[in-house]
């Protein structure tokens, strides 16, 4: 074999090794990022559960807090693009955070109705407003219960455990 052929073989082997090492490095980085995104999403769901439990146990009709969704909005698209999720896993995550969104909207409505009732001078309107706020509060308690005590949360918790165990 001539020295030119050895040189060509060296270039091919070097290129192949560079390619494989780069791909392996990118795979490891993506794997680490996936784990971080799953962990962040898990923590956000835990905060949602804690706040939902607080809402159930407290007598505050229109609390100032809202359940967080920032990590869902940033982490879940990354997870969808880079991880293999079953239909059940995808649906469970989407359903849980859709319920969080419903709950937050309910809190916004309760706050508006509560403020409107506070500003009303007419006694019959104030009574109607109190009834309406109570209806909204009851619905929000149902949302909160679904976020912390039903299959929605339990399915999500199981998914987090499985994804974080294998990553």
Q: Which stretches in the chain have pLDDT values below 70? A: 1, 25, 27, 30, 117-130, 166-167
Question: pLDDT value at position 119?
Answer: 56
Residue 62 main-chain phi, psi, to 5 deg: -130, 80
Where do the structural domains in the chain lie, given as residue ranges?
Answer: 37-166
Dump pLDDT digits (tens) for 103-125: 999 999 988 887 776 656 555 55
The packing angle between helices 70-82 and 3-57, to 10°, is 140
Question: pLDDT value at position 77?
Answer: 96
pTM above 0.85, yes or no: no
Round to whole Å and give the CA distance between 166 and 38: 11
Place of tokens 């990354």: 78
Cβ 41 vs Cβ 93: under 8 Å: yes
Round to whole Å and give the CA distance between 123 and 116: 13
Dihedral (CA of 65, 35, 25, 73) sign: negative
For 47-154, strand residue ranges (E) read none
Question: pLDDT value at position 120?
Answer: 61
Question: pLDDT value at position 167?
Answer: 47
Question: pLDDT value at position 166?
Answer: 59
Could you tell me the maximum CA-CA distance found in the chain, to the nearest angstrom?
Answer: 102
């Amino acid at each position: 074999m001539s020295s030119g052929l050895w040189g060509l073989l060296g270039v091919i082997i070097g290129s192949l090794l560079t390619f494989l090492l780069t791909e392996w490095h990118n795979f490891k980085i993506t794997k680490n990022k996936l784990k971080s995104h799953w962990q962040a999403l898990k923590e956000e769901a835990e905060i949602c559960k804690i706040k939902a439990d607080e809402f159930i146990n407290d007598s505050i009709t229109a609390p100032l807090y809202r359940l967080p969704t920032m990590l869902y909005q940033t982490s879940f698209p990354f997870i969808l693009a880079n991880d293999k999720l079953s239909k059940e896993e995808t649906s469970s995550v989407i359903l849980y955070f859709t319920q969080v969104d419903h709950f937050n909207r309910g809190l916004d409505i309760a706050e508006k109705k509560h403020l409107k009732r506070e500003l009303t001078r007419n006694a019959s309107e104030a009574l109607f407003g109190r009834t309406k706020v109570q209806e909204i509060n009851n619905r929000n308690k149902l949302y909160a219960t679904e976020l912390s005590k039903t299959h929605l949360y339990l399915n999500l918790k199981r998914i987090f455990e499985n994804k974080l165990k294998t990553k």
